[in-house]
Structure 1
């Protein structure tokens, strides 16, 4: 479904993503890990259209997305969350989902929005101000809801578990598993906590200095001496 071929992103003299190739299908739940500054969010930006690759190809269901604007990528099936929740100010939770859905699909399906609100336990907050009346866990759920409202085939989740306590992480991990199964959505998730990745994902990709240094089963990848070295600082400044 989502296919990256030799994707490189440069900002002036800095190579943020270097010759990365990977595929994400609808049955995949993949962790994307690596030290701070490894290029993970930049790779997400390249896929979703916020950063323009300087080389390589990004395809989705056989369609070349490299020069495609953000809304057309969303309508193909790319859903995206951000590390810091970004609710639309002065709009209710429900209205946030409506705006996201219209952007991502070109129409409004209120039954689907109601289903998402119920699924993410946001029904009771549907008419609250999204920017001022939600707790952190609810803001995280809203980020997921906005992405789901676009009817994605692949979800790019940028540290959606970040800042949550252990119980909150476990709840969200269960939610992501249920999203993956119920909506038949492929997931690529950026996450720093290795234990979370080990418990959640069947596959993990490791970036370091913008390059893909490992791609495989978590138990194998995290035994790789070079991966361990990158996390302990020996291979990353």
Structure 2
């Protein structure tokens, strides 16, 4: 479904991503992990179209998308969330979803919006101001709801569990499993929590200083000496 080949991103003299390449298959849930500053969000920005790579190729459903604008990628089936929720100000929750739907799916489908509101447990908040009347958990659900409104086949989730306490995190993991099954989505999730990655993902990729240093099952990558060293500064003896 998604393939990256030798993707490199530079910001001036800083190499943010270096020769990154991997595949994501239909329905796969892939964990993307690494220390702060490893390049995870830059990678999401590159896939979704906010950042253009210096070199390499990005293919989605076998088509090169590396030079397509954001809206064109969304309309092909790429949806994403942001680490810091970004509700559209002065719009209700429902209106946020409608704007996202028209941006990504090019249609306004109120029935689909109602379904997403129900699935994401936001139906009771549909007419609230999205920017001022939602708690953190609700804002995070809204981020996912907006992405779902674009009718994605691949969902990029950037630290959607950050800031949640343990019980809320477990409920959110269960919700993500429900969405994966209901909508047959492929998912790439950026997350620091090892338990979350191990629970959700069949595979994990680790970035460090913009380079891929591991690719395998969560159990394999979290035992990898290079991964241990990237987090602790010292490999296991």
Residue in structure 1 matched with residue 16 of structure 2 by the alignment:
16
| 1:156 match | 156
Alpha-carbon distance in 2 for matches of 1:111, 1:214: 42
Structure 2 equivalent of residue 109 of structure 1:
109
Task: Encode CA deviations 1:115-143: one digit per residue, 9 max, x unaligned.
Answer: 00000110000000000110100000000
Residue 99 of structure 1: aligned partner:
99
1:90, CA displacement in angstroms?
Answer: 0.5
The aligned runs of 1:34-113 (5 Å cut-off) are 34-113=34-113
Matched with 2:196 is 196
CA distance in 2, matches of 1:192, 1:220: 16
Q: CA deviation at 1:51?
A: 0.4
Partner of 1:138: 138
TM score, norm. by length of structure 2: 0.98
Deviation at 1:26, TM superposition (A): 2.1
Write the mapping of 1:215-230 to structure 2, written as runs, cut at 5 A.
215-230=215-230
Q: 1:27 aligns to what?
A: 27
Cα distance in 2 for residues equivalent to 1:98 and 1:122: 14
Where structure 1 has 5 or more consecutive residues not aligned to the other structure, the ranges are none
Distance in 1 (CA, whole Å) between partners of 2:24 and 2:114 is: 28
What is the DSSP-based 3-state SS (H/G/I as helix, E as strand, rest coil) of the residue aligned with 1:148?
A: helix
Separation in structure 1 between the aligned mates of residue 114 and residue 203 of structure 2, nearest angstrom:
32
Runs of 4+ in 1 over 2 A off after TM superposition: none
Q: Structure 2 CA distance, aligned partners of 1:18 and 1:211?
A: 5
By how many angstroms is 1:45 displaced? 0.4
CA offsets, 1:183-232, max 9 Å, x none? 01100000011111111111100001101111110011111111111111
- The count of residues paired between Structure 1 and Structure 2 equals 235
The answer to whether structure 1 residue 173 and structure 2 residue 194 are counterparts is no
Deviations along 1:24-51, one digit per CA (max 9) or x if unpaired, are 1222101100000000000000000000
Correspondence for 1:183: 183
| SS state at 1:155 partner | strand
| Alpha-carbon distance, 1:22 to partner | 0.9
Tell me the distance in 2 between the aligned counterparts of 1:104 and 1:27: 20
Structure 2 unaligned regions, length at least 5: none
For residues 167 and 124 of structure 2, the distance between their equivalents in structure 1, rounded to whole angstroms, comes to 21
Q: State TM-score, norm by structure 1.
A: 0.98
2:132 and 2:233 mapped to 1: Cα distance? Answer: 39
